[in-house]
Structure 1
Amino acid sequence: MKSWHKLLAAGCLALPLLLSACGSADEASGNKTENSASSESDPNRSTSSQSEVKSVQTVNGEIEIPAHPLRIVAEEYLGSLIPLEVIPVGAPGLTLNNVYFKEALKGVADTGDYGKMNLERILDLNPDLILSANNDNYAQLSKIAPTVVVPWGNLKNAHEELTYFGELLDKREKAAAWLQSYDERIAAARARVEQAIPAEASFSILEVTDKSIFVYGDNFGRGGQPVYQALGRKAPEKVAAEIMEKQWAEISAEKLPDYAGDYLVITSNNLTLEDLRQDPMWGTLPAIKNGQVYVWKEERSWYYDPVAVLSQTEELAAWLAPAV
């Protein structure tokens, strides 16, 4: 999982927007969503869905895909399918463990390690559509089924992702309804924070490992989307000038004060706020001294799909404005 620094970048039942999706996944025998469970006993059922096709423009040119795919392998963008009530037949193990919706994915096959797809497993699933963000895999995947590649970063936020996949999968109404509720909840969280935190307060998104410190922008996980996009908070000058375009960078401990804002959102699997206070380097930062730090584990911060961003935004708003 540590390779995610260079590769990219509670649970579903707690989210009212996803109750129908979770319920559908739990009722595998009488599935109400457009997923694999209803066709799993007949792996060749997907052939009937391909009688009707449509052409779509992709980074690999115009391709034909099923108009109503039944067996999708989501090598990426699983979190954009869940709001559309589309459950795939397979996805990488890392995305299946997404704490924000993993309860909706019981019975979905593991297609291998993230970034190291298992072609045999994907082939066995007999998909009629594959979604990916890595064009390096296109030649292999497209031999199995029509493959739509949407490179990471092409879709900048929840609206772009849900609108795109709503169009692709003919789920426009579901996408619009989910986004309306998303916008209402994001607006409520943002208003709550604006009442409690001065507009000029700066925020930094950091990750601390055993050997390294990383700083992140507004579209690479670790809390950047909820803080900078959803809540509309500003970054320190150094981050805004250097990080927002490339989205992440490794920094030395000596440079940390240059990138540390008034508030810190830190991903660490080992450190606590007390550890940071006792550390001779971290303890000198104003945010640490003032207790304006949120520390969470990678399992909660790494994901930045629409579902995760919504939950993270409300989680961070509760921290920043607990009594508002």
Structure 2
Amino acid sequence: MKKQFIPFMFVLALLISACSNETTSEEQNEAPQDTTETITYESENGPIEVPADPQRVVVLSSYAGNVMALNVNLVGVDPWAKMNPKFDDHLHDVEEVTDESLEKIIELDPDLIIGLSNINNVDKLNEIAPTVTYTYGAVDYLTQHLEIGKLLNKEDEAQAWIDDFKQRAQAAGEEIKAEIGEDATVSVIESFDKQFYVYGDNWGRGTEILYQEMGLNMPERVKEEALEPGFYALSLEVLPEFAGDYVILSSDGSDSSFQETDTFNNIPAVQNNNVFEVNLYEFYFNDPVTLDFQLDYFIDSFLEN
């Protein structure tokens, strides 16, 4: 029988080809694949692709509490959020950053950045991660939380909190009005950096709860000066004109000397022990974490006063 010989070079070519195919297959299996799912969020600046399940969020202004309330991981937040004692447990290991901390933000490797529309370096931030900004007051405070919920792909959770919060706040408002009287007025006054401010119904400090949800009355002078712009700066001399039957007094704690003056002590709310003092840094925002704290505080203060 005649033997058949396979040429050596042909065999070698087959071996090389097989090894090459095996290596290519292994490389394909080992190569990292970008499987991150995204959603399209309709921001005020147009549609933007963002992670469907963000894992490393940086908030540069205002919205840290909204993100925390939806149980999404934060890796960086603004200085005001870090100063809030009520956020301490949530933000203990979270870095403090600003819109100028570009190198620090890069190191944090965020997959989403959130801030107000007036932050700096938006173009550069967008190169780091999808960056979504909001204009403060463009929508009401509850709609704002719903928008954050949409952005984080947690719209249902955000809506559920909104529905529950409105029910709780409005029910508490009815109890408080029954306690203090339908005609009683409430002012939200702040002492900050040796200046006084009075607030309308949409500028944090509990104003949304008191006026929008509970339907409590705002003094006429406050309506005239603060309702439309949101806040109004005033002096100690005219403070009595803006003080309601009840006063929520927000302070940064830097100067309480005004509380020793006759002007302050002659205010009826002061004389009637109807001034409720709060920490500015705890009351500053209007996110769900802060709003729940504010609501509990108002229930305790008005109903146990």
Shift of 1:176: 2.8
Supply the distance in 1 between the matched residues of 2:158 and 2:38 (Cα, whole angstroms): 21
Mapping for residues 212-291 of structure 1, pairs under 5 Å? 212-268=195-251, 269=253, 276=259, 278-291=260-273
- Of residues 50, 59, 74, the one that matches 1:65 is 50
The yes-or-no answer on 1:90 pairing with 2:68 is no
Whichever of the two has the greater Rg, that structure is 2
**Could you tell me which amino acid in structure 2 is paired with residue 258 of structure 1?**
E
Instruction: Select the residue among 130, 148, 153 that pairs with 1:146.
Output: 130
| Residue 295 of structure 1: how far off its partner (Å) | 1.4
**Cα RMSD for the two superposed structures:** 2.4
- Among 270, 291, 294, the alignment partner of 2:276 is 294
Q: Distance in 1 between matches of 2:116 and 2:288?
A: 16
Q: Does 1:204 align with 2:203?
A: no
Closer/same/farther in 2, CA of residues 162 and 208 from structure 1, 3 Å limit: closer
AA of the residue aligned to 2:271: K
Q: Work out the CA distance in 1 between the residues paired with 2:279 and 2:91.
A: 22
Question: 1:308 deviation in Å?
Answer: 0.6
Deviation sequence 1:9-67 (CA, Å, 0-9, x none): xxxxxxxxxxxxxxxxxxxxxxxxxxxxxxxxxxxx9x8464x3333332333322223
2:295 corresponds to which residue?
Answer: 313
> Any gaps of 5 or more consecutive residues in structure 2?
1-31
Which segments of 5 or more consecutive residues in structure 1 lack a partner in the other structure?
1-44
* Shift, 1:294, TM fit: 0.9
Moved more, 193-202 or 56-65: 56-65
Identity fraction in percent: 32
**Structure 1 residues 90 and 211: alpha-carbon distance in aligned structure 2, compared to 1, 3 A threshold:** closer
- Report the TM-score when normalising by structure 2: 0.80
Q: What are the within-5 Å matches in structure 2 for residues 18-167 of structure 1?
A: 48=34, 50=36, 52-76=37-61, 77-112=63-98, 117-137=100-120, 138-157=122-141, 159-167=142-150
Partner of 1:3: none
Deviation at 1:282, TM superposition (A): 1.0
Contact 1:230–1:313 at 8 Å: present in 2 too? Answer: no
CA distance, structure 2, for counterparts of residue 177 and residue 208 of structure 1? 35
Secondary structure in structure 2 of the residue aligned to 1:89: strand
**CA gap 1:210/1:142 in 2 versus in 1, 3 angstroms:** closer
Q: What's the offset of the Cα at 1:210?
A: 5.6
Distance between the aligned counterparts of 1:176 and 1:221, measured in 2?
A: 20
